[in-house]
Structure 1
Amino acid sequence: MAEEQGEFRIYNSMTQQKEIFKTKVPGKVSMYVCGVTAYDFSHLGHARAAVSFDILFRYLKHLGYEITYVRNFTDVDDKIIKRANETGEDPLMLSNRFCDEYNADMADLQCETPSREPRVSEHLNEIKDMITQIINNGYAYEVDGDVFYAVDKCPNYGMLSGQRLEHNRAGERVAVDSRKRHPADFALWKAAKPGEPSWDSPWGPGRPGWHIECSAMSACYLTHKFDIHGGGIDLIFPHHENEIAQSWAADHDSHVSYWMHNGHVTNNNEKMSKSLGNFFTIRQITERYHSLALRHFLISAHYRSPLNYSISQLENSSDAIYYIFQTLQDCKDAVSPLLQGETEKNEKVPQINEAAKECIKKLNVEFQTKMSDDLQTPVILTGALQEALKFVNTSLKMLKKKMQKRAQLQLIQSLLEVEKVVGKVLDVLGLLSSKSYAEVTHFINKSLINLPVLYNESKRHSFGKPLHV
């Protein structure tokens, strides 16, 4: 069983402490992560959320769990409608295009495909059914075709964020709507407006509010009780707080065991976002740096910590990926011909040397202890993994010297075993590529040749000031 591999502790935003991970169903994990609103190319903030939960997904698989991983697309939203009006496109066509672009970015970043990727437009019936249930249970009310959630009827509202209802005064976050019974009441269903997409409902034509979408889609695929709900830290309030309230109103037994949130990507220590206009798209970065360098950069800080964007940090990550792949390529080039020759002679392969045993043990122990302690990827990148790569390079130098056949075979076997463990660690971190080692290093070398040009461009516009798309 997965639980037998040792305790995995994750930080629960609900309790604000690390907790031992225990699934509702032994050996199985149910996980929902809030995805993007698809109206534009995705930026580094989106990339960090996706990579953070991809690391979690990969590590849970490594532990032996069977995982149902659901990540949604919001393809019905005010921002989509606004952008569609600006471009003259159909809103659903526009969002569908950017859903495809997002998936292309995720593939480039080595993010594995979730089990399900539901879209709001494909789950209108489930959303309307949940709203109906909430109304029938007495926690929502209809006004002129709009349906609002009555927050003052939820006794535990604010349990995730710590926000108190008395602090939610009218006009502070949203425009005042005198039809609301309480200023913090939020829309479950929005009545249709001219020129906007709408769907029929018991309350008249309209479209769903943002918060109800995730409650309905998570319940559709995972029921009202599941293990992990994730997203960016900015979603804690109001989005996730409102999700909790809605789900409870629909089913009092609803429960998410662990709420997980990744930190912001910042630019000059200010949150990077489209609304602030200080963002960089994933494409802007991967045009200049290998996508694995970007992934390395995104996991170079703990997932809950802020990550400040800088060219120097990206270059450090690019150097790190180059070093990893060049080391693995050098090992392959040196060992393959020697190993083939000895294998043909059917000689017995000796045990690995003591230095290799110690290297493997240290890497395995550090990987297990740090990853099981709330996914401490920065320690993995800078600790025993680097020592293992150093062992490989040192051993390759030794391999060039004259030595007895048995000693040579032992060294080769030691290199192979260390390389195997390094590969396992890189795989869980998502830092292996479907392309060859040589292709990756060639891309990075090519980027280095153009670096002076790119650096000058960055000072003028591309990286000194964000591009707006």
Structure 2
Amino acid sequence: MGNPEFQIFNTMTKQKEVFKPKIPGKVSMYVCGVTAYDFSHIGHARVYVAFDVLYRYLQHLGYEVNYVRNFTDVDDKIIRRANELGEDPLSLSSRFSKEFLDDMAALQCLPPTHEPRVSDHMTQIKDMIAQIIHNGCAYVIDGDVYFSVDNFPDYGRLSGRKLEDNRAGGRVAVDSRKKNPADFALWKSAKPGEPSWESPWGPGRPGWHIECSAMSTHYLSPAFDIHGGGMDLIFPHHENEIAQSCAACQESNVSYWMHNGFVTENNEKMSKSLGNFFTIREISKLYHPLALRIFLMGTHYRSPVNHSSEMLEIASERVFYIYQTLHDCEVVLSPFREGNLKDRVTPDTQKCINKFRTDFQTSMADDLHTSEVLTSLLEPLKTINTVLNSLKKQKQQLQQQLLIQSLVALEKEVKFILNILGLLASSSYSELLQQLKDKALGRAGLTEDQVLQQIEERTLARNEKDWGKSDQIRKALSLKGIGLMDVPEGTIWRPCLPNQQ
């Protein structure tokens, strides 16, 4: 049986469609990047993790992907922030662009093919504006250039909004000189103390929307496969992009519009303007970036995901379980790595691997259902632990060899899928487990020495048969997310869900 066809939900048609690129074997994809004036929050992480999963999955399917993700480094918000800090706007945005890239690396997002900045593409932007004016869809007033929505009959087809529903406000400035209140700026005339560039209409800078139209056309041509971003960009940003791009070039066409859901905080959209956001840095101080990535992937990309420390604790526990299992597997397999292992595995192992691979293919092909893949990942991990236990008890050499081969096959399959999802650790398993333990200690407000001291006290209490004190120590640590486990060698600790033991 062949792989199921990859289906994507297209915002333009409001339905799932089988993905067929314009050029067989190649995919062109543009995702709107950040306006770089501050540290990025986990709403941003949601966008770029979702599209990183898409990027990785398309590559897994064998496509050559040209992935463009821009930086808006010229914008009202950047200028305002730079003025507050007494810093040059381009230097401020360059600084925060670098911080953003560090965050993306921590979240294991692959670098896109191109990462263009607005300030480097003024020629392309001005050329596109000139073309829109030439085609009768824009007008000039006192050095400002406005797009005329009345001259573009298709305006509103992505968002489904009617022109009369539109209100000025947000990034649509109220301006009595406009022919229609919904007309938006393509070029803004220079104001004192603001960065500006020369143009045929006088010195100024581009409006927000034109940047992405110009850069997507420059790197991908006017017609490309996928355009993505957060749901908040459907209107006005992407609606305006469509209008501009089509007004500049009749061949302009995007096959699939993809939008991810918001991250909410107490079920309200997380955003800088509402002040209810957490930066990626703040979360990464408390939780491993892989825990944040798995938390974001635990909900389908089009659904809202509600941020809470409980959900991050569960995600962190999940990462620990995955890597503790792989670590245990690695320890057992290390003496056999050089040996000549056959491909024979136990029937249960083969069944588990087949089911996991089928579940992965079905879930990902159905508009990237990563949450289902993460659930189905538990089965091979459980099977690894079962095989490890069987191996301890098995004395017969042939059976031992079969179990070892089964472990190798299971480990290979789990790592293969983790890699496609961007969840494969960049460090060794033991290093990652130590990092997760360090984060758990930080959240608990304890040092490892303090935990070991508590373990010692508990061991003394147990030796004296003071079970009450022994339980009390265990419960107090468990409340803080530190779980104690009694093993033949003594007592060890590992992160646990607070108050779950």
The separation in 2 between residues aligned to 1:173 and 1:41, in whole angstroms, is: 21
Report what 1:408 is aligned to.
400
The separation in 1 between residues aligned to 2:139 and 2:178, in whole angstroms, is: 9
Whether 2:356 is the aligned partner of 1:363: answer: yes
**Paired amino acid for 1:412:** I
Residue 401 of structure 1, CA deviation? 1.5
| Structure-to-structure mapping, 1:237-252, within 5 angstroms | 237-252=235-250
Structure 1's 215 and 175: CA in aligned 2 closer, same or farther, altered over 3 A?
A: closer
**Paired amino acid for 2:435:** F
Structure 1's 10 and 170: CA in aligned 2 closer, same or farther, altered over 3 A?
A: closer
Report what 1:466 is aligned to.
none
**Paired amino acid for 1:309:** H
Contact 1:5 1:63 in 2 (8 A): no
The separation in 2 between residues aligned to 1:169 and 1:274, in whole angstroms, is: 22
The separation in 2 between residues aligned to 1:379 and 1:127, in whole angstroms, is: 42
Q: CA RMSD in A?
A: 1.5
Q: TM-score, normalised by structure 1?
A: 0.93
Number of residue pairs matched?
Answer: 447
**Paired amino acid for 2:108:** Q
Report what 2:334 is aligned to.
336
Report what 2:387 is aligned to.
395
The separation in 2 between residues aligned to 1:97 and 1:334, in whole angstroms, is: 46
Residue 6 of structure 1, CA deviation? 3.8
- Describe the superposition over 1:251-305 as per-residue Cα deviations: whole angstroms up to 9, x where unpaired: 1121000000000000011100001100000000111111100000011100000
**Which residue of 415, 428, 433 corresponds with 1:436?**
428
- Describe the superposition over 1:365-396 as per-residue Cα deviations: whole angstroms up to 9, x where unpaired: 0000000000000011112x100000000100
Residue 167 of structure 1, CA deviation? 1.4
Report what 1:13 is aligned to.
11
Q: Percent identity?
A: 63
Report what 2:417 is aligned to.
425
Contact 1:31 1:69 in 2 (8 A): yes
Report what 2:453 is aligned to.
none
Report what 2:469 is aligned to.
none
Whether 2:194 is the aligned partner of 1:201: answer: no
5+ unaligned residues in a row in structure 2: which ranges?
A: 447-478, 481-501
Report what 1:352 is aligned to.
345
Residue 451 of structure 1, CA deviation? 2.3
**Which residue of 68, 75, 78 corresponds with 1:77?**
75
Residue 181 of structure 1, CA deviation? 0.3
- Describe the superposition over 1:326-352 as per-residue Cα deviations: whole angstroms up to 9, x where unpaired: 100000001111454xx2xx5x63611
**Paired amino acid for 2:299:** A
Report what 2:367 is aligned to.
374
Greater relative CO, 1 or 2 (CA 8 Å, sep 6+): 1
- Describe the superposition over 1:9-42 as per-residue Cα deviations: whole angstroms up to 9, x where unpaired: 0000000100000000000000000000000000
Contact 1:350 1:409 in 2 (8 A): no
Contact 2:266 2:306 in 1 (8 A): yes
The separation in 1 between residues aligned to 2:259 and 2:25, in whole angstroms, is: 23
The separation in 2 between residues aligned to 1:409 and 1:336, in whole angstroms, is: 14
The separation in 2 between residues aligned to 1:65 and 1:129, in whole angstroms, is: 32
Residue 402 of structure 1, CA deviation? 3.2
User: Secondary structure of the equivalent of 1:328?
Assistant: helix
Residue 314 of structure 1, CA deviation? 0.1
Q: TM-score, normalised by structure 2?
A: 0.87
**Paired amino acid for 2:5:** E
The separation in 1 between residues aligned to 2:161 and 2:273, in whole angstroms, is: 23
Residue 353 of structure 1, CA deviation? 1.0
| Structure-to-structure mapping, 1:300-339, within 5 angstroms | 300-339=298-337
- Describe the superposition over 1:382-428 as per-residue Cα deviations: whole angstroms up to 9, x where unpaired: 12x10000000010011111322111111111111111111111111
The separation in 2 between residues aligned to 1:118 and 1:170, in whole angstroms, is: 29
Residue 172 of structure 1, CA deviation? 8.5
Contact 1:350 1:406 in 2 (8 A): no
Structure 1's 94 and 169: CA in aligned 2 closer, same or farther, altered over 3 A?
A: closer
Residue 449 of structure 1, CA deviation? 2.2
Larger deviation, residues 409-418 vs 17-26? 409-418
Larger deviation, residues 400-409 vs 240-249? 400-409
**Paired amino acid for 2:135:** N
5+ unaligned residues in a row in structure 1: which ranges?
A: 457-469
